[in-house]
Structure formats: C-alpha cells, structure tokens
Amino acid sequence: MNPICLCLNFLLVLGEGARRLHVSAAFNAKAKVAMSRFEPGTSISYEKLHENIDIVRKRLNRPLTLSEKIVYGHLDDPMGQDIARGRTYLRLRPDRVAMQDATAQMAMLQFISSGLPKVAVPSTIHCDHLIEAQIGGVEDLKRAKEVNQEVYNFLATAGAKYGVGFWKPGSGIIHQIILENYAYPGVLLIGTDSHTPNGGGLGSICIGVGGADAVDVMAGIPWELKCPNVIGVKLTGSLSGWTSPKDVILKVAGILTVKGGTGAIVEYHGPGVDSISCTGMATICNMGAEIGATTSVFPYNHRMKTYLNKTGRADIAALADKHKDDLVPDKGCKYDQVIEINLSELKPHINGPFTPDLAHPVSEIGAVAEKNGWPLEVKVGLIGSCTNSSYEDMGRAASLAKQALDKGLKCKAAFTVTPGSEQIRATIERDGFSKILRDVGGVVLANACGPCIGQWDRKDVKKGEKNTIVTSYNRNFTSRNDANPATHAFVTSPEIVTALAIAGTLKFDPETDYLTAANGEKFKLEPPNGDELPARDFDPGQDTYQHPPAESGSVMVDVSPTSTRLQLLEPFDKWNGKDLEDLQVLIKVKGKCTTDHISAAGPWLKFRGHLDNISNNMLIGAINIENDAVNKIKNRLTGEYGGVPDVARHYKANGLSWVVVGDDNYGEGSSREHAALEPRHLGGRVILVKSFARIHETNLKKQGMLPLTFADPTDYDKIRPDDKISITGLATFAPGKPLKGVVKHGDGSQDIITLNHTFNENQVEWFHAGSALNRMKELQ
C-alpha cells in the first residue's frame, strides 16, 4: 500500500520576513486520510528566541544555562523584565498548551466561563486517563468509549468549538504524543499534567500546570512563573549493560528527595549525555516531577536529531542545527547546585516502597526488603506508562522475555505492558515485540495511563492484603496504582521489571543471580539490548486525531444540568475586604499529603468535570493527627465524627469557613487543580503548612485560596485540632509582607504566629477578585 503523505503546515518565522514552508513526512496511514496534527499558526521562531536571548544575556552580562535561554527567550518583555533566580516572577509567552482528558474537562469548563471565542495559542486535548485496565487493550478501550461517551463528546465538541485539537481515546499517553508530534528543541510548552517535563528529552522546556494556568495561556495572557533556580546534573561516562536511563533519575531522586528540586529546573549536561537516547532523556525528564522540579531539560544533540528525523520532522532538525548555539548551555554558565554522576559506574536502581525517592541498588533490595518486612514475592510486574513506553524500552524488555522463552520459562508474576502511543503499539506489534511479551505471560493493555494512575481493576489481591508490585512508572505513593494501601510498589526500569517478573521475587539480581530453565539447567540472563528506533520507521497505526474545524459557529457544546459527570462552573465569591476571622481547623494533617491524598484519582476520575461530585473525595486519604485515621474527623459543631468532605459541607452550610493545617511539601505529586478547587468549593479559605509543592501552591492561589506557610515551622506543633485561627493584616495584603495568625485554643489561650506567603501583585488581585478567572473577566 502506498504511503500517504502527511503535510504538516506550520509557519516558520525567520527574522523580519516570514515564509511558509510545507514539511512532508511519509506515514503508512493504513488508507486513512491523515489530517495535519499542527494547527494553523503553529510557529517555530528560532530568530525570535535568539533575539530575546541576546537581549537578556547583555542585560545580565553573564553566560546563560540552556534552561535560562529557553525560558528567558520566551519573555513577554525581555527588555524590562526583572530577572532574579528564585525571587522574581517572570511573564512568559508559551508556544503551546496540552491537556489530558481528566484535567482538560475542568480547563475547558473554565475557558468556556471566560467567554472567549477561540484559544489564542495552539492547544490539544489527549484522551488517556479515563481508560481502565481490566482485560486487555481492545476490550478495555471499547468499554471506556461506552462508559465515558458523555465526557469524550464534551471534550471533542469543546475542542472543535474553541479551536483545540482532539486526540481520541486510544491515541496514547499525552506525553508520548507530545514527544512524537509537538516537542522540539527550544519550545516552551505547558501541560495540565505534572509529567509534562517528559518533553525535555527533546530539548524542550515543558512545564506541568493546573487548568487555570492553561486557561491564561489559551486566552493569550502572559503566563507567570517564579524565576527558577537551575540545578545542573553533570553526566560523565556512558550507559551500558543492565543500567538504563531510568537509573539516572532514580539515583537523582535518592540524592535530592521529593522536594529537593522545588523551584528549580534540572539541567543535564556533560559528555555522558550523548550515550542516552532521546526517549531515554525523556524518561529522565519525566520523573523529574518526583523531585518537585519545575521541569528538566537536555541540550540539543545528534540523538534528538535522529529522533526528529524518524518522527517525520527532518526540517525542524535542520533548523535546530542552524540554531544549535541557542539550544545548548553557554560555556562558563553557573548552576545553583551541581550533581555529578558517572554513568559508567551507575548501577541499576529500584525505588520505594510508598515514595519515589527511597533509592536502592537492585543488588541490595532483597536484603533491604527482608530487613523491613516487605513482601519478597513479586505479584505483578508492570511496564510502560508515560515514563517508559518507548520503542527502545519495549525492545529491551522483549529481549529478556525472549531469553526466558528460549529456556522454557514464563513470568512467575503477572505481567502487563502499556504502549505509550498508537504509533508505539502498531510498531511493536509489527516488529514482533508484542507477541514475545504476550508469550512470556504479558497482557498488552490499551494505549493509556491505566494502572500508573490507578485505573486498574485489580483482582488478584484483596484490599488490605500486603503484597509487592514492581513498575516502570514514576509514582508509587500509598494506594496510587490499585487503591490498596498495603501494596508495596517499587519503581524501576522496564528491564528490571521484566527480570523480576520472570524471577517472581525481589531477591533476584539479574547481574549476578541464576534462573533455572525448564530442563533444570542454571542460566543467567544476558544484559538487555534493543534498537533505539525502528529500522523500518514507525508504523503510525490508526489515525486518531481530530483537527478543529476552520468554522465552528454551528458546533454545540452541551452540558446537561442533570449530568453526574459534567457541571458548568459558578464563580467563586470575592473577598469581602475583611480579615478572615475564626476559621475552624477542619483537619490537621500528619505527614505526607500529596494531591492523591487531597483528591484521589482511580474511580474518582469519572467526576473530574463535576466539581460538586468530585468534592466528595476531598482529603479522604489524609491522616488526621488527632486519631491517626483517614477520613475521620470531629465535627466541632455537632461533636460527632464524620468524613472530611461531609464535615466540610456541614461547616459551609452553617456559614463556618475553615482552614487545613499541613506538613512539609504539601500538595506533592500530580498537577490536579481539583485538589485546590475542592477546598474552595466546600468553604475552605486557607491552607496553612510548613511548605508547598510548586504546582499546588499556584493552583490554590488561582482559585482564591490563601496558601500560607509558618514563618517558624515549629509553630505547626502549636496548632490543636479543635483550634480556630484568624488571619489578620489582609487590608494591607502585599507581596513580601507576612500576615499574622491568631490561634485561639479551646481553653481560651491564644498564640500569635507569623505567616509567610509568595503572592505577587497580580496574585493578590486574584485573591481580591475571588479567583484568577474572576480577575480575567474583570479585565475584559
């Protein structure tokens, strides 16, 4: 069958004069007419990037890191912008917006509320989060389309109405689609998912945000970002044997911990970079979200050029070559912190359980597990996800599966495989990897997030049953994958997952230990091998992209008033001009409180477009310091115990506003703005903690909440679960000026504490208006 030529039309801005260039890429589209995946007006403006970089470099009078070049190269006002790492807020002009289907619902509902007719920048929606893993890819996808028809129809019609491209269910995971189609060296892209930094593997600055941030960009408003610090990771040596790109970020996570990258971009550099494939670099950048980093990025090199060529973007690679000096760090640039890793000495790692920064060499995990009483038997091995589902990943896993099959073995553990995109699925099917992985005992799931985000109808263990799983995913918070708090989840590379699934135990080091073949002989697995990219080019599979129509006046976007899954938004109330008096402590949270604890995923994903219904999951996973219980707090009006959302609703109905008190790195994890919307919807006004994760703090500000931190972290200990707290000084609320907290105890005593914040002038206006969306409407 003749290849169909897919014309990607986009404007290449080259200095004063702009010219149109048609870039053609040959794809075997299986007789389907493939439409352009680049919306009209998509621009690659290296000349503008260079011009801005030049302005800023002369102003700062110093060499720039790569991340500084790309970020400052997108400044709205490069001449006048105040630039100070870690202090000032930058006003930026991102090139593109991407939204996954769970977050796109609220983002599009907010955009509809803005009253604007069309998005101002190229934007896409990706249907990847709502497909539950049960049986296998074909069956699960079919069921998802039926179950989620209302939501998919809303997203498809909203995309068509407002000029947003729509990737249908089955297309693949948002981050893999971005890497294959939209990321390129030097682009600034924001996405409504915390793992948007995956695109850093192609030299892009890709940043995870909440939906309200996406609405700003889609509305054509400059987007704010606190000027990031820059952490340099210098790589020397080269990867080989069992060591993979995943081991780089597992090692870094062990060094920096889950909050060590907060407020910073992690920039990889050094001679070791060239030994890592483009998709391997993406893996490393993807999981940078687990250290709290704003994003991560690699410098442009020949590995990226090869990937661009293989994915039909040779013309972009040629342009990047011409502008390479702007796509690598300046010589002599300074980092705020430098970590050095010798790839030749790096050993395979496995991190967990319950947190992605608990790093262990694979050779030691068996002994550590025995010492800590973690289950040694591996119940399930899961490979794929947005972090590790490339052609190379699948090929290396298949090479190990083939060795086991040749010796008459299959996996002792259950084994699942998640292709990252329809293109990956079709290509590994064509090249035989899928058959090998199925033959060894694997089940190939849909091209979607699946178990990685809790979309897993797991049947092999009961809730509460202690067990171990190993995954090539990025997160392993308590209950993250299967809603079972007793599941010990470990994160590692696809190669190690496959080896441990074959062996069936954590007490197996594939570098040194032997397996027993079907005939009784002992053998060792040879180190995995796999091609970086397919020799026969990619097979794109089915065409799953819907381009927004040029004329959309007749497109209707319906939201039924009786729907349980979609709900039009009502604006939040404005600040009344007074201090916040006698806020009841709703819950004092003990220990780690991620966005999974605040707004759980899994079965709750179906309510992501209905604010009132999803608010029934607010903080149901947080630990109450008063009784060490989850979702059990005392209602101070009735004296009875109830669920957190229920008590919050009762307070709201009785006119009692409330405050949540939390620990360090509150809101770690996913970008889900529902974790900020729900407290606001149920009557919360303040979240008071020791420290925040970046995205969650911004999300709270966007919704008119007050995210505050203890000036003295030990003041956390002064708060009692039955306290009331007044926030004073709001009449003169201003950047850099702390507020006061009057803590009123049940015995009549008080404590006066100082409360810090990171609001700038624009963000103070969000608070006054009641939300950023309210403020946007005021300015129209």
Can 19 be counted among the known catalytic residues?
A: no
For 55, the enclosing helix (H) or strand (E) is: helix 46-60
Assess contact for 691 and 666: CB atoms under 8 A.
yes
Assess contact for 264 and 300: CB atoms under 8 A.
no
DSSP code per residue over 222-244: PEEEE--EEEEEEEES---TT--
- Three-class secondary structure of residue 589 per DSSP: strand
Residues with Cβ within 8 Å of 391's Cβ and at least 6 positions away in sequence, in order, are: 279, 424, 427, 428, 530, 531, 532, 533, 534, 538
Assess contact for 764 and 734: CB atoms under 8 A.
yes
Catalytic residue among 128, 431, 543, 715: 128
Instruction: Name the nearest CA neighbour of 751 among 661, 647, 683.
Output: 661
Give the C-alpha separation, 645 to 654, whole Å.
Answer: 14
Phi, psi dihedrals of residue 746, rounded to the nearest 5°: -60, -25
| Structure tokens given for 675 | 């974790």
Give the C-alpha separation, 480 to 521, whole Å.
Answer: 39
Can 670 be counted among the known catalytic residues?
A: yes
Which is it for strands 337-342 and 229-236: parallel, antiparallel or unpaired?
parallel
Catalytic residue among 37, 129, 360, 610: 129
Look up residue 192 and give its DSSP letter. S
Cα separations (Å) of 701 from 87, 735, 757? 17, 13, 10
Can 745 be counted among the known catalytic residues?
A: no
Catalytic residue among 95, 101, 140, 193: 193
Catalytic residue among 195, 303, 458, 475: 475
Placement of tokens 């690598």 in the chain: 328
DSSP code per residue over 259-285: TTTBTEEEEEESGGGGGS-HHHHHHHH
Can 129 be counted among the known catalytic residues?
A: yes
| Structure tokens given for 83 | 């630039």
What radius of gyration, in Å, describes the C-alpha atoms of the chain? 25
Name the E strands within 45-202: 89-92, 96-100, 123-126, 165-167, 188-191
Give the C-alpha separation, 293 to 310, whole Å.
Answer: 30
- The letter for the amino acid at 328 is V
Placement of tokens 């700062």 in the chain: 60
Can 128 be counted among the known catalytic residues?
A: yes
Evaluate the omega torsion of the peptide bond into residue 528 and state whether it is cis, within 30 degrees of 0.
no
Catalytic residue among 672, 694, 696, 775: 672
Assess contact for 60 and 81: CB atoms under 8 A.
no
For 212, the enclosing helix (H) or strand (E) is: helix 211-218
Assess contact for 350 and 505: CB atoms under 8 A.
no
Can 57 be counted among the known catalytic residues?
A: no
Give the C-alpha separation, 469 to 478, whole Å.
Answer: 12
Catalytic residue among 113, 421, 670, 771: 670
Give Cα 240 distance to the centre of its chain.
28
- Three-class secondary structure of residue 723 per DSSP: coil
Active site members: 128-129, 193, 475, 670, 672
